[in-house]
Amino acid sequence: MVKIGFRIWILIILLIIGALFIINWQSFSGNIVIKEVQPNSTASEQGIIAGEIIKEINGHSINSIEDYAEALAYLPEAVPILDNETNISNESNISIGGPREKIIIITDKSEYIFLANSNLGITVSEIPKTRIKTGLDLRGGARALVEPERPLDANEMAGLLETVRYRLNVYGLIDVNIREISDLTGNRYMMVELAGATPRELQDLISKQGKFEAKIGNKTVFVGGQKDITFVCRNDASCAYIEQCSEIEGGEICRFNFEIHLSEHAAKKHAEITSRLKEDIGDKVGYLNETLDLFLDDILVDTLLIDVSLKGQETTRVAISGSGTGTTRVEAYEAAQDNMKKLQTILITGSLPFKLNIVKLDSVSPLLGKEFTKNVFIVALAVFLAVCLIIYLRYRRFILFLPVIITLVSEVILVLAIAAIINWNLDLPSIAGIIAALGTGVDDQIIMIDEMRVSRQYSAKQRIKRAFFIIFVAYATTALALLPLWSAGAGLLRGFVVTTLLGITVGVFITRPAFAEILRKITKD
């Protein structure tokens, strides 16, 4: 019986741990997880929370997105309902409603029974089969390389990252990756990646400073941010809603309305400015002779009349309104909701501390990302088979060929496990780095095999030392050559650097010593 050395045992243990880690054991308890529950929705009222795994809906087993969609298809559809009753402005209101049906949802936590239609107010996704995170290249989305208007120091950049991250989180975006990167000359940039987003959405959120001002005449009453605004109503139909919809030339328009609370300082400023105004004696009797004008990035977005009762009053409650347009009423309704959400976000977060310029804007569709993934697997398989063929043709001994292939597979498993542990997103450069590391690994193993076969004037221990001297020199040279790539291309090649370093480090310190011990056993030295 062949005695297994401790290095081989260490490799085997690490491989088992790595293989188990990259498997997401949660997927065995179900496949569809609730990612988000909309506030004030039917699901929220029933106590359903994000993170629960859906097992059944009305007796239909839920194992995929298709199963979930099919289960909802049996429920009444949530459609826009138009209220055609005449109101003061002779315009129509719009709401979302429809018939309701008894729904029984069974999750891994509890069972919920309630009445609803297909608009449950939850967002679901399939649970990943592994813990490996894929980058934007493979899952689709938008990426922006952003440069501040002037060079920033470390503290200023940290503040900018925090503000942008807060803004995107307030807006409700998920799968957001924001980080600082720099180039070889020391210029600092911000990299923003949004999975599933479009370039236009990303550009709207970060390319504009988002400066909000409310003015009476040419005097500023309040601005966006916590200094002047203490509360912004969101996700509450009692104080944030689509007010009315009506026809316009070429389509429809819907107006939104939501409430904000001003700070004591802003309320006093409002009282001071309005105390000097007079009552309008023209068409707008009952209102002051100046309006409250709302500006976003110095562009007028809305004008509000000021009731005479507010003259000189330190009011802290202000209603903000705006609109959205579309070719249909549903499109206008959705546009109004989106515009309201953006304005609420800017009022909460305030303007960005610095103006930003988008240097590079990329977009990858989810379908194209799947095609990339497919092509990468095909290329990786082709490379693996080519390496196998070359090694076999060189030695023509299965006993030498098999350990090399096992070592290659071991390195891939360990690199993927470490990438999962450090939450590194695997993009195309990262996968290229893994392939490059495997090529280096094959070179090292060929050196070890040749040293064991050719240098017979030395003992087996000496031959291994000679081989490892060459391997360590090559490792140090490769590692030093990779370091400048960390900042090259404004950090876009970091994935290649990380996975290549991981691969060659795992090889030199884990798999090569184990391979040397296996080689010593099979060559009987």
Antiparallel, parallel or unpaired: β 188-195 and 141-148: antiparallel
pTM over 0.95: no
pLDDT value of residue 372: 62
Residues whose CB is less than 8 angstroms from the CB of residue 169 and which lie 6 or more positions away in sequence, other chains included = 176
- Count CA atoms closer than 13 A to 152's CA, side-chain side: 22
Task: Of 237, 215, 384, 389, give the one whose Cα is nearest residue 306.
Answer: 215
pLDDT value of residue 448: 82
Task: Of 457, 475, 462, give the one whose Cα is nearest residue 520.
Answer: 462
- On whether the CB atoms of residues 119 and 96 are closer than 8 A, the answer is yes
Amino acid at 184: L
Q: How far apart are CA 160 and CA 447, in angstroms?
A: 50
Residue tagged 């470390």 (tokens): 154
Residue 321 has pLDDT above 60, yes or no: yes
Annotate 150-186 with three-state secondary structure. CCCCHHHHHHHHHHHHHHHHHCCCCCEEEEEEECCCC
Which range (34-48, 193-207, 325-339) has the least confidence?
A: 193-207
* Mean of per-residue pLDDT scores for the chain: 75
Query: What does the pLDDT look like over 288-311, one tens digit per residue?
Result: 888 888 887 777 877 878 888 888
Residue tagged 């941010």 (tokens): 225
Alpha helices in 326-423 (DSSP H): 329-349, 366-395, 398-421
Helices 512-522 and 6-22, packing angle to 10 deg = 130
- On whether the CB atoms of residues 68 and 32 are closer than 8 A, the answer is yes
pLDDT value of residue 128: 66
For 274-329, give the DSSP string. HTT--B--SS-TTEEEEEEEEEETTEEEEEEEEEGGGTT----EEEEEEEEEESSH
Average pLDDT over residues 266-292: 82
Which range (97-101, 148-152, 234-238, 358-362) has the least confidence?
A: 97-101
Q: How far apart are CA 428 and CA 495, in angstroms?
A: 8
Q: How far apart are CA 91 and CA 248, in angstroms?
A: 11
Q: How far apart are CA 195 and CA 139, in angstroms?
A: 7
State which fold the 6-23+368-522 domain adopts.
Answer: Multidrug efflux transporter AcrB transmembrane fold (1.20.1640)
Q: How far apart are CA 56 and CA 382, in angstroms?
A: 42
Please say whether the structural domain 26-126 has been given the CATH code 2.60.40.10: no
Task: Provide the residue ranges of all domains of the chain, joining segments of one domain with +.
Answer: 6-23+368-522, 26-126, 141-208+360-364, 212-333
Q: How far, in Å, are 14, 197, 253, 379 from residue 302 at the CA level?
A: 63, 28, 14, 55
Is the pLDDT higher at 70 or at 221? 221
Query: What does the pLDDT look like over 433-451, one tens digit per residue?
Result: 888 888 888 888 888 887 7
State which fold the 141-208+360-364 domain adopts.
Answer: Alpha-Beta Plaits (3.30.70)
Residue 91 has pLDDT above 80, yes or no: no
pLDDT value of residue 94: 35
Q: How far apart are CA 424 and CA 438, in angstroms?
A: 19
Q: How far, in Å, are 67, 99, 115 from residue 105 at the CA level?
A: 13, 18, 11
Query: What does the pLDDT look like over 199-223, one tens digit per residue?
Result: 666 676 676 667 788 888 888 888 8
Is the pLDDT higher at 201 or at 460? 460
Is the pLDDT higher at 423 or at 147? 147
Average pLDDT over residues 336-348: 81
pLDDT value of residue 170: 58
What percent of the chain stands above pLDDT 90?
0
Residue 333 has pLDDT above 60, yes or no: yes
Give 96's pLDDT tier (boundaries 50, 70, 90).
very low
Task: Determine if residue 402 is left, alpha or beta; phi over 0 gives left, psi from -120 to 50 gives alpha, anything else beta.
Answer: alpha
